[in-house]
Amino acid sequence: MQSMSKLALFGGRPVLDQKLPFYNSIGQEELDAVVQVLRSGCLSGFYGNWGDEFFGGPKVKELESAWSKRFEIKHSISVNSATSGLYAAMGAIGLNPGDEVIVPPYTMSATAMAPLLYGGIPIFVDIDPNTFCLDPQAVRQAITPKTRAIIAVNLFGHPAPLHELKTIAAEHDLKLIEDNAQGPLATEYGQYCGTIGDIGVFSLNYHKHIHTGEGGICVTHDDDLAQRLQLIRNHAENIVEPLNIKNINGMIGFNYRMTELSATIGVQQLKTINKHVKKREETAQKLTQGLQGLEGLETPQVRDKCRHVYYLWSLRFDADTVGVSRERFSRALAAEGFPHFNGYVRPLYLLPMFQQKIVFGNNGYPFNLSNVSYKKGLCPVTERMHEKELMCYEICMYDIDENHIRLLIDALHKVYEHRKEL
């Protein structure tokens, strides 16, 4: 077979000799919808004071009610990013300075920034090496009298152990927040990720399954949390009096409002979400099928009764079994034209802000309210995945057909078969 000839790294022909095309989910419906909003002259329907416009314009309201219906949840609150949504969630639960919030270190940084914004202390807890999501046993061990919440991340589109975490949260009177930026339509035991915890946060940024450029949605079954999220989104400080809000902890409002332009795109994207998610899922499943039996390369694990929606498709690399380091293997794979990156993100506690314990001002607040430690070695599984084992393929980004899938599989087989030369 031609593809099995000399490695491209050593001058052979690469298996994929063209760049994979980018996936574009924006169609005529989105274009028409945006033009209609532009023609109306009203690009945002929000007003930062009490009245009907406090809840946003017609497209924002349409998106929110369509989202609630699609995800089978009582309340959807649109925001201008998932980052804003996570911040709003921490305000909504009334976090106090010094409160501890359990978070995984293997996630996009916003997950761990959210508690800090309200003076909370992120407590990093290690992950399960099979799903890269929070390890519930480690969560149990990290709970102290100061713990107030758990932020679970449905990483790469696979559900964290949400029902188990919900049980743990109930036992200790904690809130469970889901960062579901990567997991729209993922499910655990038939229930949508994002809707299992007290608040779930979705992202509509450009890189996610469906997008509005920038944007996010918070969802909750709880009326009080929904109202607090709406207040924080839009200048709560002005609204607590007209609404006669008694508990004003956390009622400093931001401008996290979504524009009518984004919302109208969101309405259209939501109509086709099944198609976008299914395409990634099928591509991932074909890659996985094509790579069975290569010892030392582990394709994504899916827990029983879970749906994985593959924001990223991952490979776990066992250097001892393969007989070569991930970095060498990766270099040969890149030369064959297989786009990927290694290690996902650095464990978040290694960021300068945690290492130096400097965020707000120079006196160490809020870390000075706690004796938390962020030393290297804190979460060994995460460090091992980052430094040695994980390889990531950004499946969401590319428009891949059958032929591309075949070539990607061939590229991996080719490098694997030539591994002794590396």
Ligand X SMILES: *Cc1c(COP(=O)(O)O)cnc(C)c1O
Is residue 192 within 8 A of residue 185, CB to CB? The reply is yes
Instruction: Map the footprint of ligand X across residues 361-390, applying CB under 6 A.
Output: none
Is residue 83 within 8 A of residue 216, CB to CB? The reply is yes
User: Is residue 409 part of the contact set for ligand X (CB under 6 A)?
Assistant: no
Nearest distance in Å: CB 382, ligand X:
14
Letters for 98-137 (x = contact with ligand X by CB under 6 A, - = none) are ---------xx-xx--------------------------
* DSSP string for 170-192: HHTT-EEEEE-TT-TT-EETTEE
Tokens describing residue 133: 């999501």
Nearer to ligand X, 107 or 299 (CB): 107
Nearer to ligand X, 181 or 306 (CB): 181
Instruction: Map the footprint of ligand X across residues 201-260, applying CB under 6 A.
Output: 203, 205, 216
Taking the chain, what is the end-to-end CA distance rounded to the nearest angstrom?
A: 20
How far is Cα 48 from Cα 267, in angstroms, rounded to an integer? Answer: 23
Instruction: Map the footprint of ligand X across residues 136-165, applying CB under 6 A.
Output: 153
Q: What are phi and psi of 317, to 5 degrees?
A: -105, 125
User: Is residue 269 part of the contact set for ligand X (CB under 6 A)?
Assistant: no
Closest C-alpha among 152, 166, 148, 142 to residue 200: 152
User: Is residue 78 part of the contact set for ligand X (CB under 6 A)?
Assistant: no
**231-245 exposure pattern, b = at least 16 Cβ within 10 A, e = fewer:** bbbbbbeebbeeeee
Instruction: Map the footprint of ligand X across residues 79-98, applying CB under 6 A.
Output: 81-83
Q: Which range binds ligand X by CB under 6 A, 174-182, 250-258, 278-286, 322-330?
A: 174-182
Q: Which range binds ligand X by CB under 6 A, 132-140, 175-183, 220-228, 332-340?
A: 175-183
- Within 13 Å, how many C-alpha atoms sit on residue 169's CB side? 22
Q: Which range binds ligand X by CB under 6 A, 77-85, 125-133, 141-149, 339-347?
A: 77-85
- Point out which residues bind ligand X (CB under 6 A): 81-83, 107-108, 110-111, 153, 179, 181-182, 203, 205, 216
